[in-house]
Amino acid sequence: MAAKRFAACFLRLVLISLLVAYSFSLPLNWRSLNLIKKVNREGPYIGLITVFPPEETAFFQIGAFKPNQKHPFVDLSGRRFLVGKIHDKKVVYVRCGVGMMNAAAATQQMLDLFDILGIVHFGIAGNANNSLSIGDVTIPQQFSHTGIWDWLNSNRSLNYDEASLDFKRYNVPRGDNLLGHIGFRYEQFFSEYGKANTARRLFWANTTRQWLQVAANLKGIKLNQCLNSSVCLPQKPQLVVGLRGSTANIFVDNAAYRDFLFQTFRVSSVDMESSAVVMTSLSNGFPVIVIRGLSDLAGGQSGHNSIDTFGSLAAINACKVVVQFIKQLHHDTR
């Protein structure tokens, strides 16, 4: 009998030791985990992800977000996830940081830890389409990662199916260019609904069709035309749904490259995060939509880039569309 009690006590000690060791190996502390459990009991939530402080300022300036009184935020891995409501919809909001790595990491963390219905990603973007204007808001139906490519030997022939860029075409005057040319690659896409450990080739990632249909009903929404009484856009901004966008870890402020992106891929907006958010959401099987206000011409302007002047207006317009989209979105719309 004593031997059995000793064995039972020893087993308990071993289990406790393993639990303590496991707790130290966790990337999150117990307090954060317990807080997330409490937050999730009140879910599910719509996940909101923006990028950098001016967009966040615009989001709070709209005044639609109401923080949760009991659990207003959770701090994770250096980011603050805010918990609250917009109208009657429960939301979790985070500012991910600039670039695709930050965007993917924050999206994955949100999907892993919170009870999320889907992701609404928003912010500002460069305009690559001359038929659109600064201040317009675009909700693309497709995104490509245009920053994944091979930098080729200048003597190598181009045989890429999707697209290629020959720098020699842009010589002034024309001549040799040792930068050679680049060939654009497909993304390797792993999916919750695919075969395990097997990627498929993907160049265009589609945002969620049902959410795009909800967004299409917002056309005609009144967007801001003026920053103040003396600084206004020449035309009323509009909401455009269903075009294409591109993402790369590149801030595009170059007229030739802007023209190449539009002529080759027919993208209307360029940014540094959206494709990563879309790919991560789709890989995990969650709905996703992207709402971006056009802040500049991505190098198509003459003179100074307009992002410093109209970036805040573009961000406000994007946030206005986000708030109305969430208002119209049903929790069972997936």
Q: pLDDT tens for residues 16-64?
A: 454 444 444 455 677 788 899 999 999 999 999 999 999 999 999 999 9
Range of the domain at 156: 149-185
- Tell me, yes or no, whether 203 and 153 share the same domain: no
Q: pLDDT tens for residues 240-290?
A: 999 999 999 999 999 999 999 999 999 999 999 999 999 999 999 999 999
Q: Which SS3 state, helix, strand or coil, does residue 280 take?
A: helix
- Tell me, yes or no, whether 298 and 174 share the same domain: no
Q: What pLDDT was estimated at residue 246?
A: 98
Q: What pLDDT was estimated at residue 1?
A: 57
Among 131, 160, 185, identify where a domain stops: 185
In whole angstroms, give the CA distance from residue 49 to residue 278: 11
Helical residues (DSSP H) of the chain, grouped into ranges: 2-25, 30-41, 53-62, 100-113, 209-216, 255-265, 274-283, 307-328
Q: pLDDT tens for residues 61-93?
A: 999 999 999 999 999 999 999 999 999 999 999
- Tell me, yes or no, whether 167 and 252 share the same domain: no
Q: What pLDDT was estimated at residue 331?
A: 55
- Which residue is it, tokens 């999730």? 40
Q: pLDDT tens for residues 192-238?
A: 888 999 999 999 999 999 999 999 999 999 999 999 989 999 999 99
In whole angstroms, give the CA distance from residue 197 to residue 187: 15
Q: Are 73 and 243 contacting, i.e. CB atoms less than 8 angstroms apart?
A: no
- Tell me, yes or no, whether 231 and 91 share the same domain: yes
**Higher pLDDT among residues 273 and 11, named by residue:** 273
**Domain assignment of residue 81, yes or no:** yes
Look up the CATH number of the domain holding residue 71: 3.40.50.1580
- Which residue is it, tokens 């923080």? 67
- Tell me, yes or no, whether 50 and 156 share the same domain: no
**Domain assignment of residue 4, yes or no:** no
Min mean pLDDT across 67-81, 110-124, 167-181 is at 167-181
- Tell me, yes or no, whether 159 and 33 share the same domain: no
Q: What pLDDT was estimated at residue 16?
A: 45
In whole angstroms, give the CA distance from residue 295 to residue 11: 63
**Domain assignment of residue 310, yes or no:** yes
Residue 208 per-residue DSSP state: P
**Domain assignment of residue 19, yes or no:** no
- Tell me, yes or no, whether 137 and 230 share the same domain: yes
The strand ranges marked E within 167-299 are: 181-184, 187-189, 200-202, 204-206, 239-241, 244-247, 269-271, 288-296
- Tell me, yes or no, whether 257 and 171 share the same domain: no
Q: What pLDDT was estimated at residue 12?
A: 59
- Tell me, yes or no, whether 94 and 159 share the same domain: no
Q: What's the total number of domains in the chain?
A: 2
**Domain assignment of residue 7, yes or no:** no
- Which residue is it, tokens 């360029």? 270
